[in-house]
Structure 1
Amino acid sequence: MSDNLKSLSDAGVSIWLDDLSRERLETGNLADLIKNSHVVGVTTNPSIFAAALADGERYDEQVRELAAEGADVDRTVFMLTTRDVRQACDQLMESFEASGGVDGRVSIEVAPDLAHDEAATIASAQELRDEVDRPNVLIKIPATTEGAPAITTTIGNGISVNVTLIFGLERYRHVMEAYVSGLEKARDAGQDLSRIRSVASFFVSRVDTEIDKRLDEIGGHDDLKGKAGVANARLAYREFEKFFAGERWEALAAAGAHKQRPLWASTGVKNPDYRDTMYVDDLVVADTVNTMPEKTLDAVRDHSDIQGDQVTNHYDDAEQVMAALADAGIDYDDVIDTLEREGVEKFEKSWTELLETVQGQLDQAKG
């Protein structure tokens, strides 16, 4: 067991792996990470599945079976990905039960091209939940304007949700509001609130990438590079602390509701000049999830520096960073708008690549 990973877990951070493939499932790789690396959850996205299906021959047999049944590409992708997620849920079931449902979670995302279609997102979330058919699945819904009512309805239907593609503080507040409104709907409909869980995936490294690029265009502010992502996330955690307090929340908590934990996403460092564990070391705080690619997990195991809570005692520092960026000419709202738009576009592109890969495999299977 890695002392660094144990220290991170002991500090209240749930370690989730940001990757999944049938190879990981069938070779015992995921089981090994669960056993020896404190991994207690898995997140997926279209990019991850596109890579897994492009590189792995382990999907060929199922593709041939689906081709013989006459399945189209959308149905084939649905069946391939839900099978992987179901198997991962099974491998994490012990973690799920041991944590009382806090962890042991596996996320699967509604199709990105539904991001701006509320009704289709709600229907897709239900279909994915029903097909995976495991209590520890999380349905990922993007935090678009149209996503908020879909989140509320899905939570209200008793489905656990991972809200993804959150970059800014205002959007994050809307996400928490959507979650709590959903819990109130669920309570009024007689749902068991204790069975509903949610995380809010707040993206970190992409904020630095965008702001660093703008600082380069402005010139003369190298001292501010690589600071926005952590500062923004720290201020998000302050919003989390504020929101899940007071009479409205206490009434839901008394009915069995759980807080929607912040999940630090996009925690692989994009700039090689930065510490490769900075988005882990600098965001240690209780009641959070850090989902990381295996490369980052390995780096944390090898040379991370876990020093306990690095968030709640740094709110003033975070405010100073954001104020300095504004003084330097960085338009925060424009940065967030750009990241939200590009985030959906990137996932849509990955989804298209996934469909193209699977269509090629279907064509080959048909002869």
Structure 2
Amino acid sequence: MNTSSVRRRPATGTVALWLDLKDAAAERARPERLAAMGAAGRIAGARLGPEAGVAAARRVCDALRPLHDRTGGRRGTVVLGLPSPASSPHPSPPSGPRPAPDAAGLVRGAASLADRVDRPNRAVALPANDAGVAAMEVLLGRGLPVHLATCFSARRYEQAAAAYLAALTRAHAEGRDPAALASTVAFGLRPLDVRIDALLDRAGGEEAKALRGTAALLAARLAQRAGARLFDPRTSPAWKALAAAGARPLRLVWTELGDLAPADGAPAGYTAGLGAADATLAVPAEAFDAATDLRPGPARADEEADARAEHFEACLRWFGIRPDEVVRELEGEPAEADAGPAAVTGPSRPPRDRTLVAGGAS
């Protein structure tokens, strides 16, 4: 990478950790330990899997309620997982097209689950697809914070941010507190690199090899830049008014990190690249102790991220890889009618300058 395009600022703040309590882990979680971890500032919140029962969800919510109250809702949120298929937007390995629940069904399911748990610090997870974003705006309009999980592109984050801003604007106009709607978007990392890297490996050659391990961090930095732009009161009059009323930006939560407990023993370095000041990382229970040692790294301002992303996507398409289709698959969206699944077909002729492919996206 051309380091002249990246400005680094001294780190401040903390790396916030969300504890992933998937499935049976929520049933086994000890409320007194969770409460102590919250009191000590070790965790920012928790995510539950779709199999967690209502009683377990209430126990976790109650354990983190003091943290939620003490921080004015900035920490201590517990994300409730919806039952399948909404809770698993990216099967691995791919299992072919799957029908996604419509927005109305998601709204009914999420509202029902939130009502049954009935705790002020709960939020409901929605899939990061078109139906999930549509349901997100409706649920926010009903006063229910949400967690969009899991997106893999800045474009999806921007779509969610637009829905979030619209809902908060209406809430503020109606005299409701926008701070009570503080919501989050999970941004997945490792699955995107795994899928893109596999396609690059099929393409073969040094040029393809040079692009491996690039997709996830580049996509994540584009999402960071989008958030900084959309939720900057200096450049957005709409957000300035909302922020003055107590609204909070739609926060990114980095998840599916892989390098805290890598399956292949090869850390991808996501925490080093994204564990900057005020970052939020979702980590599984088995990796939590290691993650508590993380310290904020220097903040980044990659002024050429947009150009690098455009070049990287052009390189992928030269190899016959359609990154938009890979993202749609991961996010559980059906393939577009006029486009087949992402595949490596290989170029028919070499590019004019092979060095553009061999390292231009590094």
| Alpha-carbon contact 1:40-1:103 (below 8 Å) kept | yes
Contact (CA 8 Å) 1:224, 1:325: kept in 2 or not? no
Q: Could you say which residue in structure 2 is the equivalent of 1:92?
A: 64
Moved more, 251-260 or 98-107: 251-260
Would you say how many aligned residue pairs link Structure 1 and Structure 2?
Answer: 298
1:339 aligned residue (310, 313, 330): 330
**1:356 corresponds to:** none
**1:313 match: secondary structure:** strand
Distance in 1, matches of 2:148 and 2:241, equals 23
Contact 2:191 2:256 in 1 (8 A): yes
Aligned CA distance change for structure 1 residues 287 and 22 (closer, same or farther; 3 Å):
same
Alignment of 1:70-219 (within 5 A): 81-113=53-85, 115-219=100-204
Is structure 2 residue 22 aligned with structure 1 residue 17? no
Residue 283 of structure 1 is matched in structure 2 by 274
Partner of residue 323 from structure 1, selected from 291, 302, 311? 311
- Return the offset for 1:33: 4.4
Question: Could you say what secondary structure the match of 1:16 adopts?
Answer: strand
Q: Deviations over 1:33-70 (max 9, x none)?
A: 44667112111233xx3xxxxxxxxxxxxxxxxxxxxx
Return the offset for 1:153: 1.0
Q: Distance in 2 between matches of 1:263 and 1:16?
A: 8
How far residue 15 of structure 1 moved from its aligned partner, in angstroms, is: 0.7
Pair 279,196 (structure 1): closer, same or farther in 2 beyond 3 Å: same
**8 A Cα contact 2:14 2:295, kept in partner:** no
* 1:256 pairs with one of 243, 246, 250: 246
Distance 1:319 1:12 in 2: 30
Q: State the SS of the aligned residue for 2:58.
A: helix
Residue in structure 1 matched with residue 301 of structure 2 by the alignment: 313
Q: 1:265 aligns with which of 239, 255, 262?
A: 255
Pick which of 101-110 and 334-343 moved more: 334-343
The whole-number CA distance in structure 2 between the counterparts of 1:103 and 1:301 is: 16
Q: Return the TM-score normalized by structure 2.
A: 0.74
Supply the AA of the counterpart residue of 2:73.
G
- Kindly indicate whether the alpha-carbon contact (under 8 Å) linking 1:164 and 1:201 is maintained by their aligned counterparts in 2: yes
Residues 161 and 198, structure 1, Cα contact 8 Å, conserved in 2: yes
- Report percent identity of matched pairs: 29
Separation (CA, whole Å) in 1 of partners of 2:333 and 2:104: 23
Moved beyond 6 Å, runs of 4+: none
Which of 226, 248, 257 pairs up with 1:239? 226
Q: What secondary structure does 2:111 align onto? A: helix
Report the TM-score, using the length of structure 1 for normalisation. Answer: 0.73
Structural RMSD (CA): 2.6
- CA displacement, residues 80-108 of structure 1 (integer Å, 9 cap, x when unaligned): 62211111111112221222211111100
2:209 to 211, 222, 229: 222
Unmatched segments (≥5 aa) in structure 2: 1-10, 87-99, 335-362
Amino acid at match of 2:29: R
Corresponding letter in the other structure for 2:242: L
